[in-house]
């Protein structure tokens, strides 16, 4: 007798192989893989302890669910063109707060807030030894994709962690990002995450679902249009599995379905006016 299928587990497995649908999603997928590689040497309890430290520093109103979310270079990039761009392998991102700190003048509001945050973080970090803080700083560096950064002792790690996880400085950025826009942008090259996810998916059994090369190919715009006007064509083409792993195709199908729905509603409205 075959074992029962754990649908939730299968969905979670498929989520790991979701094909990035935009340049920003590609960058996020790369960050996830980079942080996984760095955190492999830490136990679950150590990582939970690190996250607790950062959440206590951030305060009860700004807690995060993971270190990847605490050290997120995509903050305040809602208008970044990468959200709407095709998946790719390079991106330009704003300077990190730790980089901005080196450019800020002593009399500026940024410097005042930064000093307060450093003092606060040092108090929170008292229970951690030098090795732990340097390990956490390396995780933060990986999450921020800050490859050239090196750490020279406990105080250096504390400054990096405090500046790049500070809610006070995030709020300042949201109110006036002049210092960040003045600083040089970061140009980041990274792996082709669409290709990598496809290889991972083909190499890993997600029982009871098996994928072929055909399942990995995106639908064409003509196919999206046909699906939107007649969803039966989608189920008849025997390539429905692709939709479970491709966020770009999910979004494109939603776009076309909404477009057709608006067209139908407009046609009904005009017909109603004509009858009246």
pLDDT of residue 160: 97
Partners of 90 in the β-ladder: 189
Tokens of 201: 């998916």
What's the rounded Cα separation, in Å, for the pair 117 and 104? 15
pLDDT of residue 64: 95
Range ranked top by mean pLDDT from 2-11, 137-146, 204-213: 137-146
What's the rounded Cα separation, in Å, for the pair 158 and 125? 8
What's the rounded Cα separation, in Å, for the pair 214 and 196? 16
DSSP 150: -
**How distant, in Å, are the alpha carbons of 11, 67, 70, 167 from that of 63?**
26, 10, 8, 10
Residue 206's pLDDT band, with cuts at 50, 70 and 90, is low
What radius of gyration, in Å, describes the C-alpha atoms of the chain?
23
Partners of 222 in the β-ladder: none
Tokens of 193: 């995450």
**How distant, in Å, are the alpha carbons of 22, 136, 195, 229 from that of 252?**
12, 39, 20, 14
pLDDT of residue 276: 41
Cis peptide before 134 (omega within 30 of 0): no
Cβ count near 80 (within 10 Å): 18
pLDDT of residue 274: 44
* pLDDT at 175 exceeding the cut of 60: yes
76-107 pLDDT per residue, tens: 787 899 998 999 999 999 999 999 998 887 76
- Report the percent of the chain where pLDDT is more than 90: 54
Can you state the angle between helices 23-39 and 193-203, rounded to 10 degrees?
A: 60
Task: Write out the E strands in the chain.
Answer: 90-93, 186-189
What's the rounded Cα separation, in Å, for the pair 72 and 53? 16
**Nearest one of 187, 53, 219 to 133, comparing CA atoms:** 53
What's the rounded Cα separation, in Å, for the pair 208 and 167? 44
25-39 pLDDT per residue, tens: 999 999 999 999 999
pLDDT of residue 253: 80
214-225 pLDDT per residue, tens: 888 888 888 878
- Report the percent of the chain where pLDDT is more than 70: 88
271 in Cβ contact with 243 (< 8 Å) = no
What's the rounded Cα separation, in Å, for the pair 140 and 160? 8
pLDDT of residue 2: 41
Overall pTM > 0.85: no
131-149 pLDDT per residue, tens: 999 999 999 999 999 998 9
Backbone angles phi, psi at 12, to 5 degrees: -65, -40
Residue 211's pLDDT band, with cuts at 50, 70 and 90, is confident
267 in Cβ contact with 42 (< 8 Å) = no
* pLDDT at 14 exceeding the cut of 70: no
pLDDT of residue 275: 46
How many residues comprise the chain?
276
């Amino acid at each position: 007798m075959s074992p029962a299928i754990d649908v939730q587990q299968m969905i979670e497995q498929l989520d790991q192989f979701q094909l990035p649908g935009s340049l920003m999603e590609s960058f996020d997928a790369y960050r996830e893989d980079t942080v996984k590689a760095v955190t492999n040497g830490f136990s679950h309890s150590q990582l939970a302890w690190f996250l607790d430290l950062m959440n206590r520093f951030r305060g009860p109103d700004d807690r995060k669910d993971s270190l990847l979310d605490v050290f997120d270079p995509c903050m305040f990039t809602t208008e970044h063109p990468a959200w709407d761009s095709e998946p790719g392998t390079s991106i330009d991102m704003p300077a990190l707060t730790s980089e901005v700190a080196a450019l800020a003048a002593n009399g500026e509001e940024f410097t005042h807030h930064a000093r307060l945050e450093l003092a606060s973080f040092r108090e929170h970090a008292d229970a951690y030894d030098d090795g732990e803080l340097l390990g956490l700083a390396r995780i933060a560096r990986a999450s921020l994709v800050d490859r050239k950064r090196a750490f020279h002792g406990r105080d250096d790690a504390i400054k990096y962690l405090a500046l790049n996880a500070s809610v006070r400085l995030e709020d300042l950025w949201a109110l006036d990002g002049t210092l960040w826009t003045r600083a040089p942008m970061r140009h980041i090259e990274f792996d082709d995450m669409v290709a990598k996810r496809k290889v991972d998916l083909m190499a890993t059994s997600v029982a009871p679902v098996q994928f072929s090369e055909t399942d990995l190919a995106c639908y064409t715009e003509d196919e999206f249009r046909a699906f939107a006007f007649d969803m039966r064509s989608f189920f008849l083409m025997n390539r429905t599995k692709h939709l479970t792993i491709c966020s770009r195709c999910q979004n494109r199908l939603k776009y076309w379905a909404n477009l057709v729905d608006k067209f139908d509603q407009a046609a009904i409205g005009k017909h109603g006016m004509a009858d009246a």
